[in-house]
């Protein structure tokens, strides 16, 4: 019986120690998360660059981290809402290398998955120009039938916004 009593006491002590470690770990985790967030906000290793553009009547957030770019709708124009586009919807994901930009743009239709297509482009003054054959969907369907350069989506122009900064 003495063995069981000692084991119970040892187990109880171990649990208390483990709880103290977990509490300290929790505080450490919170501190670490705060430091990472501060670094991101204040320009540390995780910080990126946010620019605001206008594209066909919508406001676009263009965010770059370590050369990887993501463009999302900040304020979509009203007519796009019927396509399922909302704040945060991705317009483009890709990379920037110097003045060259390449990646994937997306078209949208309500009830359908985004239709991706490859684009390449460049900075033109304060603007960004991307181009590539854009998807052509079947009428009344989500199916992509082909790709064309004869579409408004085949050339995307993002104009730097001086009014939304």
Q: Is the dihedral of CA 84, 100, 161, 132 positive or negative?
A: negative
pLDDT 10s digits, 74-118? 999 999 998 899 999 999 999 999 999 999 999 999 999 999 999
Between CA 148 and CA 154 the distance in angstroms is: 7
Residues of the chain with pLDDT under 70: 1-46, 165
What is the reported pLDDT for 153? 97
DSSP state of 142: S
CA atoms 34, 35, 36, 39: torsion sign: positive
129: β partners:
122, 157
Q: The whole model's pTM is what?
A: 0.70
């Amino acid at each position: 019986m003495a063995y069981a009593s000692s084991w119970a006491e040892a187990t109880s002590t171990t649990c208390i120690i483990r709880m103290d470690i977990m509490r300290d770990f929790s505080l450490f985790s919170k501190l670490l998360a705060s430091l990472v967030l501060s670094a991101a906000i204040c320009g540390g290793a995780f910080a990126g660059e946010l620019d605001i553009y206008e594209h066909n009547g919508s406001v676009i957030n263009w965010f770059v981290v370590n050369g990887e770019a993501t463009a999302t709708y900040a304020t979509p124009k009203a007519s796009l809402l019927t396509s399922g586009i909302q704040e945060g919807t991705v317009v483009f994901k890709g990379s920037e290398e110097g003045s060259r930009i390449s990646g994937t743009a997306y078209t949208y239709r309500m009830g359908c998955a985004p239709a991706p297509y490859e684009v390449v482009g460049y900075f033109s003054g304060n603007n960004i120009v991307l181009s590539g054959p854009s998807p052509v969907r079947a009428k009344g369907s989500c199916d992509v039938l082909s790709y064309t350069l004869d579409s408004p989506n085949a050339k995307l122009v993002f104009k730097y916004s001086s009014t939304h900064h």
